[in-house]
Structure 1
C-alpha cells in the first residue's frame, strides 16, 4: 500500500511519558524547543538529556524540573533502559549515526528536521483542559499544522473542560448496559452538532471565503518561491 493511496498512514496514539523513559540528545535551541513541548504536555515525563554542550536556557529548564543530564557526546550505552529517543541537534551526520544506533537497540526515535529517520513525529497540540488534539501533516508541513492549531485554539471554547466534567458525571450516573449508555450519550451530545447546523449562512460564507483566500495566497507564494529558486 502506497502513502498516496491512504493519505496520512500514521497511527495516532497518546503516550504516558511518566511510565516510560525518554532520552533527549542535544543541548541547544532545538532541544529547548523539544523540552518545552514535552513538559507542556507531560509535566511528569521521565526525561534524561545528554549533550556535549548545554545552553544556559536548557540548563535552566533541566534544573527547574530536576531532569538528569550528562555533559558529553552521545554513547550507545545511553540507550540502556530507554523506550523513546529524541535527537535534537543541528548536525545531520551525527543525527543519522545516532538514529542508526537507536534502530539497532529497538528504540523508537524522533530526529529533528529529518522525517525519513523518524519512527514517530511530535505533532502540533491543541489542549483545552482534558481535551487534547494532536495534528499531523505526515511531516510535510509543520507550518500548516501550526496554523490549524491556532484556528482550533480560537474556535474551541475555554468551557470545554467543564463540558467534559459534566459528561463524565452524566456517564457515571447512567443505568443500563453499554449499548444503552452509548445511545443516551449520543442523544445528549447530538445537540452540539445541531447547534453547529444552525450557524448563519453569512458566517459560513465568510469562513469559506477566508479559506479560499488562504489557499490562493499559499499557491501564489509557492509559485513565486519556485520562480526565485529557478
Structure 2
C-alpha cells in the first residue's frame, strides 16, 4: 500500500543541497530547475560534470562547491538530495540529515529516503506527479510519457477559463465549490 503523502513544494523558497556531481546529480539538478528555475541550490561534489557547470552558468542561484561532502554543508539547508556512487557517503549524508531533522532523498535507496522524487507531467499550469512508492522509477517515467501524449495542449486555456469563472463567482466557499463542481462535471 502506498502511504506517501503527495505535496508540491515552492522550491524557490527553500535552499536545497545536492550531494553528487555525476550523472545522478545532473539528473536531479536538471529536474529541480525544470520545475523551479529560480530554486536556490548548492551542489557539492569532489568532481562536477561539465553539464552541471553549464547549468550553473545559466542559473545564478545554483552554487557549485567542488569538495568532498562534509556535514557543515547542511547549514541553512531545507532539503537534501543525495546521488553519489559511494554508498558510505550516501549513508553518512542521510544520517547527518536525520540528526538535523532535514528531509533527505538518497537516489536508488528507498530505505534511506524521507521522500521520493516523482515523475512529472507538465501542461502549462497543470502538474501531475507520479509515484510508484519507490518501486519502479522507470514505470513512472513511461507513464509520464503516455500522459504527456494524451493530454491536450489546450489544457492551459481551460485552466485560465476556470480561474476567470472562479474569480467572478459570488457566495461563500461552499457555494463556489458547488458551482465549480457543476461546471467541471464534463471532465468525468
TM-score by length of 2: 0.96
Task: Give SS of 1:60's match.
Answer: helix
Aligned residues: 187
| Counterpart position of 1:106 | 101
For structure 2, list consecutive stretches of 5 or more residues without a partner in the other structure. Answer: none
Q: Determine which of 42, 46, 57 is the counterpart of 1:48.
A: 42
Answer yes or no: is 1:165 the counterpart of 2:157.
no
Answer yes or no: is 1:58 the counterpart of 2:72.
no
Q: CA deviation at 1:109?
A: 0.4
Structure of greater relative contact order (alpha carbons < 8 Å, 6+ residues apart): 2
Q: Determine which of 119, 123, 129 is the counterpart of 1:128.
A: 123
For structure 1, list consecutive stretches of 5 or more residues without a partner in the other structure. Answer: 1-6, 194-230
Distance 2:182 2:114 in 1: 40
RMSD of aligned alpha carbons: 0.9
Task: Give SS of 1:68's match.
Answer: strand
1:114-165 Cα deviation digits (max 9, x unpaired): 1110011101000101000000000001111111111111111101011000
Q: Determine which of 143, 149, 170 is the counterpart of 1:154.
A: 149
| Counterpart position of 2:21 | 27
Q: CA deviation at 1:21?
A: 0.7
| Larger of the two Rg values belongs to structure | 1
| Counterpart position of 1:80 | 75
Distance 1:8 1:63 in 2: 39
Question: Displaced runs of 4+ in structure 1, greater than 3 A?
Answer: none
Distance 2:182 2:130 in 1: 28
